[in-house]
Structure 1
Amino acid sequence: MLFYNSRHGDKILFSEHYVNLLLVDGHQALEIKRHEVLAFGQKRLSLQHKSGLQRKIAPAELFSRTNEKRSIKKVLVTGVAGIGKTVLVQKILFDFGQNKDHLAFDFVIHMSFRDLNLIDKPTNFRELVLRKNRHLSKVLDWILANDDKLLIILDGFDEFRHYRRCDVDVFVSKPEEDAEVNEILGSLLQGELLPNASVMLTSRPTAINHIPVGCIDRYVLIAGFSINEVQDFFLRYFQDAAVADRMFSTVSANELMLTLCYIPAFCSIVCCILNESKDLCGESPKTMTDIYVQYLVALLRSHTQSRTKTCPEDQGAKTNQQLSDIVLKLGRLAFKKLMEHQTLFYSSDQDVAGLEGCSLVSTFLDTTVAQEPGFTEEVFSFAHLTVQEFFASLYCAVTDQPLPDAMQSSDNQNNGHLDLFSRFLSGILSDRNSNFLSRQVGLHCREEKVEMYRRKITTDLAVLCENGAHILNCLHCLFEQQDPSMTLPALPELLRVNVSDETLAQMDHNAIKYFLALTEGKILSELDLTGTGVNHDSLSDIQPFLHRCQRLWLGENNLDMDAVQVVADVVKVSENLTHLGLGWTNIGDEELQALCTAIRVKKRVQELWMEGNRVSHRGLLSLADLTPDPLQIIVVIWNNLYESESESLCSQDRITANFTDEQLWQEWGEWVFRRCQVSSNEKLVTVLHKVCNMPNGWLELHWAKTFYSQLSQLIKSRIECCTEDDMRKKLQKFDNLLNL
């Protein structure tokens, strides 16, 4: 435990290199339909907004009681690839060995799932411990007998070959009882084996749904670095305050690089680029692909220079010629394993065996040794999940490898698994990066694939803009091209742009703005920003494009007066805006007054949706002169209105304060249900809080019966597969409510 898990043979004292990680108490579900790094990037934004509500905890507090009644025995620590889960484990072991923290335990047993993967026959827990800790053979029975003072750390659940089979029905209750490894671990997690022991489990989000339901007492999320920690990391990496400050200033000027530095592994990649390639490319990276291309070329150049110094000139030239072949072998490995959802590669694997003896492999692959009595096996993984995805896309770009089946259609139904892969592929196939790779590495993108992919982007955009399906990843693929001359002739004249229900980061806004700038002159028949976290700053950022919208949906965003004023400024000048959605945006009478003043200027807005806000009857009086022209429909259900006021308003046929308009609410119900179907459980509960507040009398309406029946079935299906107790209780509450 003396050394940090550094690369390239460096040995850095752990105590000198460790940078604090932000640990947040509480379960944070990730949207399963998105790439985990991207999903967490959005989740982290909401965590920052709610930082006052989340309890930050130190590693030493992981097993501290949250209240006097409940003891903490099973802790799940989760976080995306490269966020620092294994380093946190090392920190805990290091501090325990130094007698600094975790003094409530007398013993800590650490197991890696990479090692456990090598066991292919029945064994027992006692033997699992002794396999790598033979020195404990005389005292292990005593340790296990006093399990209330024992902490067991299981690192890398998502890397376990049998992680889908740990919710077992067959249990073992004694440490010496033989069983399959997954049965032993399932028994340990569910408290059948060593029930008094404390267990810490680490995992990427992709596997946590397979952890036995109800066995976790505390969920802890690693939220990576804050800006201060990024600066601290730079200082420790460069070991020179002046250099570190200069490099951090460079990154701070690049919004994309700074945003991604919350992931420690990516922060290391950025530092590597800055350290190795200060003059590599005159232009600062604009896209994710730009960064990774520079990372690849920087390490290849470093490798070539070191080899050339120690080899004759002809040998050095030979090495240069071999680099592209080795990169392709790495790419083939990355692609094949990505398609198989694998991030670990064992030396016994035929694809790995082909890389044996390549000195370049250690530059891009981390290597650990999994040990068994009388047997060891090397385990390889790329420095980060995104590095594997980059190599996979590079292989796909420069060979005749067809696109994955999940990317063949425009709807891109890959559950987010290939989102970054598709973005990297687009960036590599762009003219600037393909030319750069050709010059620097000797890898040439296939011309037919370049043209094919460009056609695919424009075709996919046309389909998505036509039917209003979710378009964000496709916009990112277009953004990665960075080709202002790229025309979009296939697009319809009226564009529907739907990026709803995802908290948008600045990178997302950049991709959206890039597309809107490319399509200047085309009308946006619909721009759906529902539930995206837009505020005054982000609305101001895209304000120049909003006047092109016919329908602008901004619901489920917390809009203050400054944000509403941006919308009002658009309304004042737009000749196109006819439908405006501001449901559940927390607006009140003052904000409505500002909108009314703006609507009077052009008198173009025909529908104004304001459900679920703070508008009172007095505020609605300001709309009197705007109905029926231009406002033909005004929706004000779930506002600060008394029943008598609602009845009075309903006598004005332009204002909807109840649910009796069958066609209007049927269409609304269909729209809400489509959103619920693709939402995470957390988002679903948020929507249910809004739409389940309906008077009993109106539940007899035909549209309402259909809508709430569909919701009930959806909730039941989510409950069946929900693994988190608190979330399951919330869903059950709404299921009970809808079945009264």
Structure 2
Amino acid sequence: MEKQGCSEMEIVSSESHSFIKLLKVNREHLVTHIRNTQCLLDNLLQNDYFSTEDAEIVCACPTQPDKVRRILDLVQSKGEEVSEFFLYVLQQLADAYVDLRSWLSEIGFSPSPLIQSKAVVNTDPVSRYTQKLRQQLGRDSKFILCYAQKEELLLEQMYTDTVVELVNFNNESLGSLDSLACLLDASTGVLNEEGETIFVSGDAGMGKSMLLQRLQSLWAAGQLDPGIKFFFHFRCRTLSCFKESAALCLQDLLFKHYCYPEQDPGEVFAFLLRFPHTALFTFDGLDELHSDFDLSSEPDTSSPWEPAHPLALLASLLSGKLLKGARKLLTARTGVEVPRHLLRKKVLLRGFSPSHLRAYTGRMFPERATRQRLLDQLEANPNLCSLCAVPLFCWIIFRCFQHFHDAFESSPQLPDLTVTLTDVFLLVTEVHLNRTQPTSLVQQNTRSQTETFRASRDTLCSLGRVAHRGMEKSLFVFNQDEVQASEVREGDLQLGFLRAVPELDLEGEQESYEFFHLTLQAFFAALFLVVDDKVGTRELLRFFQEWTPPGEAVATSTCYPPFLPIQCLGGHSLHGEDPFKNKDHFHFTNLFLCGLLSKGKQKLLRHLVPAAALRRKRKALWTHLFASLRSHLKNLPRVQSGGFNQVQALPTFIWMLRCIYETQSEKVGQLAARGICANYLKLTFCNACPADCSALSFVLHHFRKRLALDLDNNNLNDFGVRELQPCFSRLTVIRLSVNQITDSGVKVLYEELTKYKILTFLGLWTSADSTYSL
């Protein structure tokens, strides 16, 4: 409509140099589309084209159109130069006068050198708010806060890309992204043109939050899509901290609880509503939402001025009922599903590839000799290499290595044994507990791990109590009362395991706390179950009940992780469960419980818990684990196909394998192997990672018969291939297609499998490529 209007009016070319006539002919068009008079006044005053009295005359006009008319009258009365400068301001401040872009293009306005030498200041509220957002996000994203909260590293120096893979609705690969900017590319990986949400998922520790921090940094530096003028970042868990009775409009959520405009918030919000495509929203951690608030009782929110609960605003933003056209980027752990009609793209984070790991090693250890020493130890310990595929665990392992390097500079050595996740988290706990010890210039800390844990038993118990109480309620943010009730002291808060986080509340900010990472909370919850001698058998084993979703029939389950119903996104709760409930935190607690009660940890734990209680808990756990394994393996569905007795594994089986491996018990491994009453084990599309190959090999090397193994469409990469080596002597069929395996992994397969000469089929295609066979 605007273009048509422009074509119908008489347009005087700026080449005629009669800028006064140009303003007269297009007077009503300018009056209609100039909404910001302050920018014009500021620039006319700064360049001495207007006097203070001129500005006062304009400001005295009752309406905005009247102010524009008075400015035009004054500008034209002052001659051609002032009229030309007036047009120059409209051209240079395109965001402030967005409705005049096409008109300025049509008249072909080109300022003279004199006018171009004049300074133009941007006092437009929208532009100033964009600048404030850039400054805030640039400041917030500049540093990576390290685990102990005592060291900050520059994001620019430490950030390393991971494998970011576009997938379709069925999680089948569509190829990797070359850069984070491609996430917002309108032509890459679009699954649904009507969808507005880019959904990024990945396992715990894969770097979802770091990816968002990197995006914030890029936008703040002006290195993202220039069309994005607003960047709003929210953590989903904070939205569920609002009281059930809380109600606020979209403008209050964005301005009062994120970043407030320095001037004219109404004008900024009006621009956002008019041009929603200029906004990017990021919501981190959908799986960490926790709320008893019943969204089904709330009407849909489609008005930006109507107050609603923040969770209702989140749902309406993601669905496009609010700010339709704005781009939204949502993250969650693997296993969370979002209704397809909301999705525009779907992305999986796959962690570090070997090349990414080498790049990250170079950033963490700039000194060549130290870096090579670490790479040599990783080469000698495939299990550590597999853990390093997960960026969070990689960081922990590197920091532990650095600790050993600093403590034993002459010959830094990581423990010469199989390292499990429990070992890693025990080690990092020891490192940070020792930070509280007095330092000396001439003497290093020589306390053993046992002495460190024994001296810090009260701290471990109080932190464990907070973690366990949170696990029971699926809570990840704790207020002051909850922390104090668990007897957490001020010194405990300084260790870095808990960090302060502002709790959003309409009545103001109240300091709350959270564990640095969900996996760390699971570790401390498991430690509490072991160390507190008052914990009985029922409480010890409580979280194992979460292995299988209630009502899930074994015969009908798929090999995908449990579905997380999200009511507020249009899904439906299964069996009346909390729609925001994800089970990974329970599974990790079980995993760490198995590791802490393993035989190898008794020497440490006997100084923290009475021997009788420790024996009772170990016996209860093994009895339950044996019974669960027998029951689960016995009921797995089987299919007779191609001469094989094929068993279709379930997500529960993957978690059981992880727990078995964490125990490092050969007896448990042998029992699990005997329970696999089939000669074809299918584990496709189970999102298995390299560390899962360690657990798989731990069981399968006890399998006394020949076996076919199908691991197609997982995330194993070359590390996983190396971890499978112990069971190659049993395999007649192995399928490893679509697993990011490179020539390095193929070389391991060739060298190992040709030793036994029993393989009949090897699947290694990437998508539609050829199949290798030996």
Q: TM-score range by the shorter chain?
A: 0.5 to 0.7
2:206 match: secondary structure: coil
Deviation at 1:103, TM superposition (A): 0.9
Identity of aligned residues (%): 20
Give the whole-Å Cα distance in 2 for the aligned partners of 1:489 and 1:223. 32
Aligned counterpart for 1:128 among listed residues 253, 277, 290? 253
Contact 1:21 1:224 in 2 (8 A): yes
Q: Tell me if 1:256 matches 2:383.
A: yes
- Change in 2 beyond 3 A, CA 1:260/1:346: farther
2:695 corresponds to which letter in structure 1?
A
Give the whole-Å Cα distance in 1 for the aligned partners of 2:505 and 2:263. 16
1:178 corresponds to which letter in structure 2?
P
- Change in 2 beyond 3 A, CA 1:80/1:309: farther
Contact 2:301 2:313 in 1 (8 A): yes
Give the whole-Å Cα distance in 1 for the aligned partners of 2:254 and 2:672. 62
- Change in 2 beyond 3 A, CA 1:466/1:346: same
- Change in 2 beyond 3 A, CA 1:466/1:374: closer
- Change in 2 beyond 3 A, CA 1:269/1:309: same
Contact 2:606 2:614 in 1 (8 A): no
* Residue of structure 2 equivalent to 1:291: 424
- Change in 2 beyond 3 A, CA 1:107/1:285: same
Deviation at 1:95, TM superposition (A): 2.0
Give the whole-Å Cα distance in 2 for the aligned partners of 1:190 and 1:508. 36
Larger mean Cα displacement after TM superposition, 486-495 or 186-195: 486-495
Aligned counterpart for 1:181 among listed residues 310, 315, 320? 310
* Residue of structure 1 equivalent to 2:395: 268
Deviation at 1:373, TM superposition (A): 6.3
* Residue of structure 2 equivalent to 1:203: 332
* Residue of structure 1 equivalent to 2:92: none
Give the whole-Å Cα distance in 1 for the aligned partners of 2:170 and 2:438. 46
Give the whole-Å Cα distance in 2 for the aligned partners of 1:252 and 1:581. 25
Deviation at 1:456, TM superposition (A): 3.8
Deviation at 1:394, TM superposition (A): 2.0
* Residue of structure 1 equivalent to 2:659: 477
Contact 1:543 1:566 in 2 (8 A): no
Aligned counterpart for 1:138 among listed residues 264, 270, 273? 264
Give the whole-Å Cα distance in 2 for the aligned partners of 1:454 and 1:270. 29
Contact 2:247 2:309 in 1 (8 A): yes
* Residue of structure 2 equivalent to 1:689: none
Give the whole-Å Cα distance in 2 for the aligned partners of 1:410 and 1:80. 17
Contact 1:462 1:492 in 2 (8 A): no
Give the whole-Å Cα distance in 1 for the aligned partners of 2:282 and 2:738. 41
Deviation at 1:429, TM superposition (A): 1.3
Larger mean Cα displacement after TM superposition, 427-436 or 17-26: 17-26
Q: Tell me if 1:365 matches 2:498.
A: yes
Aligned counterpart for 2:729 among listed residues 533, 544, 554? 544
The alignment of Structure 1 onto Structure 2 pairs a total of residues equal to 545
Give the whole-Å Cα distance in 2 for the aligned partners of 1:215 and 1:420. 30
1:12 match: secondary structure: strand
Give the whole-Å Cα distance in 2 for the aligned partners of 1:163 and 1:409. 19
- Change in 2 beyond 3 A, CA 1:163/1:553: farther
Give the whole-Å Cα distance in 1 for the aligned partners of 2:227 and 2:547. 55
Give the whole-Å Cα distance in 2 for the aligned partners of 1:536 and 1:164. 46
2:269 corresponds to which letter in structure 1?
D
* Residue of structure 2 equivalent to 1:381: 514
Deviation at 1:486, TM superposition (A): 7.6
Give the whole-Å Cα distance in 1 for the aligned partners of 2:355 and 2:387. 14
| Deviations 1:553-598 (CA, angstroms, capped at 9, x unpaired) | 87897999989997994499xxxxxxx999x999xxx999x9xxxx
- Change in 2 beyond 3 A, CA 1:204/1:344: farther
* Residue of structure 1 equivalent to 2:55: none
Give the whole-Å Cα distance in 2 for the aligned partners of 1:58 and 1:168. 42
Q: Tell me if 1:5 matches 2:145.
A: yes
Contact 2:236 2:284 in 1 (8 A): yes
Aligned 1:411-426 pairs, distance under 5 A: 417=584, 418-426=586-594
| Deviations 1:329-360 (CA, angstroms, capped at 9, x unpaired) | 22232233234333333334357763241335
TM norm structure 1? 0.62
* Residue of structure 2 equivalent to 1:686: none
2:480 corresponds to which letter in structure 1?
S
| Deviations 1:309-346 (CA, angstroms, capped at 9, x unpaired) | 99xxxxxx999765112112222322332343333333
- Change in 2 beyond 3 A, CA 1:191/1:557: closer
TM norm structure 2? 0.59
2:490 match: secondary structure: coil
- Change in 2 beyond 3 A, CA 1:544/1:564: closer
2:341 match: secondary structure: coil
* Residue of structure 1 equivalent to 2:226: 103
Deviation at 1:266, TM superposition (A): 1.6
- Change in 2 beyond 3 A, CA 1:180/1:253: same
Larger mean Cα displacement after TM superposition, 2-11 or 526-535: 526-535
Contact 1:172 1:192 in 2 (8 A): yes
Aligned counterpart for 2:709 among listed residues 504, 515, 529? 529
* Residue of structure 1 equivalent to 2:531: 398
Give the whole-Å Cα distance in 2 for the aligned partners of 1:320 and 1:494. 39
Q: Tell me if 1:89 matches 2:212.
A: yes
Contact 1:19 1:229 in 2 (8 A): yes
2:158 corresponds to which letter in structure 1?
H
- Change in 2 beyond 3 A, CA 1:169/1:358: same
- Change in 2 beyond 3 A, CA 1:398/1:146: same
* Residue of structure 2 equivalent to 1:194: 323
Q: Tell me if 1:217 matches 2:217.
A: no
2:249 corresponds to which letter in structure 1?
N
- Change in 2 beyond 3 A, CA 1:170/1:57: farther
* Residue of structure 2 equivalent to 1:610: none
2:232 match: secondary structure: strand
Deviation at 1:119, TM superposition (A): 3.0
What 5-or-longer segments of structure 1 have no aligned partner?
Answer: 31-46, 311-316, 547-551, 573-579, 595-740
Deviation at 1:123, TM superposition (A): 0.9
- Change in 2 beyond 3 A, CA 1:63/1:286: closer
- Change in 2 beyond 3 A, CA 1:240/1:215: same
Aligned 1:542-621 pairs, distance under 5 A: 542-545=727-730, 569-570=757-758
Contact 1:479 1:511 in 2 (8 A): yes
Aligned counterpart for 1:56 among listed residues 177, 180, 189? 177
* Residue of structure 2 equivalent to 1:600: none
1:430 corresponds to which letter in structure 2?
S
Give the whole-Å Cα distance in 2 for the aligned partners of 1:370 and 1:125. 18
How much is the aligned-residue C-alpha RMSD, in angstroms? Answer: 4.8
2:200 corresponds to which letter in structure 1?
V
Give the whole-Å Cα distance in 2 for the aligned partners of 1:93 and 1:488. 49
Q: Tell me if 1:431 matches 2:588.
A: no
Larger mean Cα displacement after TM superposition, 142-151 or 424-433: 142-151
Contact 2:694 2:723 in 1 (8 A): no
- Change in 2 beyond 3 A, CA 1:204/1:346: farther
Deviation at 1:453, TM superposition (A): 2.7
Contact 1:157 1:163 in 2 (8 A): no
Contact 1:304 1:320 in 2 (8 A): no
Give the whole-Å Cα distance in 1 for the aligned partners of 2:750 and 2:616. 49
- Change in 2 beyond 3 A, CA 1:85/1:476: closer
1:134 match: secondary structure: coil
Give the whole-Å Cα distance in 2 for the aligned partners of 1:87 and 1:510. 27
What 5-or-longer segments of structure 2 have no aligned partner?
Answer: 1-138, 444-449, 553-561, 563-582, 638-648, 740-745
Deviation at 1:282, TM superposition (A): 4.3
2:219 corresponds to which letter in structure 1?
F
Larger mean Cα displacement after TM superposition, 458-467 or 56-65: 458-467
* Residue of structure 1 equivalent to 2:114: none
Give the whole-Å Cα distance in 2 for the aligned partners of 1:201 and 1:106. 19
- Change in 2 beyond 3 A, CA 1:247/1:167: farther
* Residue of structure 2 equivalent to 1:40: none
User: Considering only CA atoms, is the larger Rg found in Structure 1 or Structure 2?
Assistant: 2
